[in-house]
Amino acid sequence: MLKYKSRITVILQHVNHTFHIHRSYLIALSLLISLVFALSTANSAQPAPGQDARSFFKSIVGSWIGTCEQSTDGEKAENKYFQAVIKQIDGNTFQGEFEYYRLDTKTGSVVPVGQSSFLTTIKPDGTVQNKITGKGTVLVNYKPKDQKHDLSEVLTCIDGSSFQGKGTGTVSVSGMPLGLGKNGKVSDATSNWSLKNGVLSIDQNLKVGFKALFIKKSFKMTAHYTAKRGTNVASIIPKAQAAPTGAGSSK
C-alpha cells in the first residue's frame, strides 16, 4: 500500500504542476484513487464462489467402506454395508460410486444387493447441484422390495465440513399391489453431508408418495451412511468370511 501512496503523490504533483488543479480537487482525487486500490485489494481477498464446496468434496476423494442403516416409516431394515469410490472429474465436478452388500447369515458370505451413484457439479455462482441415482431394496410392510431412485438436490454449505441438501425426485418399488410402486414421487428430500474426525456421514430423508387408480400411499424413508477410509468391505461386516469378487478392491 505504501508504494501505491508514493505513486499517487508523484501523479498528483505532476497533475498539479501541469494543469494547476485546485488543492481540494487533488485531495478528492487522491481519496478516490486510494479507495479504488482498497476495494481492489479487498475484492482479491474474497473467496471464490463454491470454494467451500470444492474443498469439501476434494477432502472426501478416495475409497471408503461403511454401514448403511435404513428404515421405512420407522421400521428398520437389515443393515447394508458399502464400498464407495469418490473421484474428482474436473475442477468443479465430483463423482461417487457405491456398491452395497449384506451378510448371508446362513453361509457367512457377503452378497451384493445394489448400487448407487452421485454426480456433484459446482456452478460458477457457487451453487452446488447433486444428482443421485441407484437401485437396491427397501422394506415395505415388513418385506424387502426392489427399488430404483433418481434424485436431484441443491447443497448449501453449513460450515467448512458439512452441507445440507434439499430436492425432489422419483422412486419405483416393485412387487406392490396394482402396480402402486411404479411411479413414486419424492416431494421432499433432504440430506446432510459431513466429514469430521475422518468419518464421512451422509443422512437422507425422503417423503415418497405413490398413486394408482384411487389408491394413494405415502412412506417416509431414511438412510444413514457412516464410512471410514478403506477398500475391504468384508472387514467391517460381522462374521463375514470373505468378500465376493470385486468387493475388496477400489475401482
Rounded (5°) CA angle 9-12-13: 85
pLDDT of residue 146: 82
Q: How many whole angstroms separate alpha carbon 114 and alpha carbon 80?
A: 10
- Short-list 106, 152, 161, CA closest to 127: 152
pLDDT tens sequence across 166-175: 999 988 877 7
pLDDT of residue 140: 67
pLDDT of residue 142: 61
Cell of 148: 430404483
pLDDT tens sequence across 49-108: 678 899 999 999 999 999 999 888 888 888 899 999 999 999 999 999 999 998 888 887
The answer on pLDDT for 213 being more than 90 is: no
C-alpha dist (Å) from residue 168 to 118, 147, 185, 244: 14, 16, 8, 34
- Give the domain 51-236 fold: Lipocalin (2.40.128)
The answer on pLDDT for 248 being more than 70 is: no
So where are the chain's domains? 2-45, 51-236
Average pLDDT, the chain: 77
**Angular region, 241: left φ>0, alpha ψ -120 to 50, beta rest:** alpha
The answer on pLDDT for 152 being more than 90 is: yes
pLDDT tens sequence across 34-63: 333 333 333 334 456 678 899 999 999 999
- Of 80-94, 205-219, 230-244, give the lowest mean pLDDT range: 230-244
pLDDT of residue 138: 67
- Kindly tell me the burial class for residue 77, based on how many C-beta atoms sit within 10 Å of its own C-beta (0-12, 13-18, 19 or more): buried
- Of 7-21, 42-56, 76-90, 140-154, give the lowest mean pLDDT range: 7-21
The answer on pLDDT for 132 being more than 80 is: yes
